Amino acid sequence: MKYWRRPLDLDKVCLPRAEVRIIEERCKGCNYCVTYCPRNVLVTGEKFNSKGYYPPHVKNQDECASCGLCQMICPEFAIYHIVQRPEVAEQSV
């Protein structure tokens, strides 16, 4: 992440992080997760599943802020996030 000035508490702030997982066979391709992820982590995938729906693809894993919205908004219980140990902001500058 880029900062326009170096925050004074940069060594104390922790960025929440998560890994996003998709259960492709459950997905029905509604695109809610792709549209509403606030960090544009997801894109519509290019491969279809056995029912012909296009599950999302995790394009920018590193951008995921562990907000959990994709998991909440998915009507199919097809996407979830695994919270990772937070990263000290300073290391990601």
Partner 1 sequence: MIDEQVLDGLHPMDKLLRADRIPHIWCPGCGIGTVVYSFLSALIKSGLDLDKVAVVSGIGCTGRAAGYINLDSFHTTHGRALPFATGLKLGNPELKVVVFSGDGDLISIGGNHFIHAARRNMDIAVICVNNFTYGMTGGQLGPTTPIRAKTTTSPYGNTEHPFNLPYLAAASGAVYVARWTSLDARRTERAIGEALAKKGFSFVEVIAPCPTLYGNMNKMKTGLDQMRFYEENSVIRHGAEPKDVDITLNGQIIVGKFVDIEKPTYLDLRDNIGSIV
User: Does the footprint of ligand SF4 cover residue 49 (CB under 6 A)?
Assistant: no
- Residue 79 near residue 71 (C-beta atoms within 8 A): yes
Within 70-89, which residues bind ligand SF4 (CB under 6 A)?
70, 74, 76, 78-79, 81
Q: Which residue(s) pair with 83 in the sheet?
A: 18
Instruction: Choose the one of ligand SF4, partner 1, none that binds residue 84, judging by a C-beta under 5 to 8 angstroms depending on kind.
Output: partner 1
**Which of 10, 32, 89, 90 lies at the binding interface for ligand SF4 (CB under 6 A)?**
32
Tell me which DSSP letter residue 43 carries. Answer: E
Q: CB of 8: closest distance to partner 1 in angstroms? A: 30
**Which of 69, 87, 89, 90 lies at the binding interface for ligand SF4 (CB under 6 A)?**
69
* Beta-sheet strands, E only, within the chain: 14-22, 42-44, 56-58, 79-88
Token couple for 4: 């326009």
Q: Please report, in angstroms and rounded to a whole number, the separation of the first and last CA atoms in the chain.
A: 6
| Interacting residues toward partner 1 by CB under 8 A | 23, 25-26, 28-32, 35-36, 53, 69, 71-78, 80, 82-84
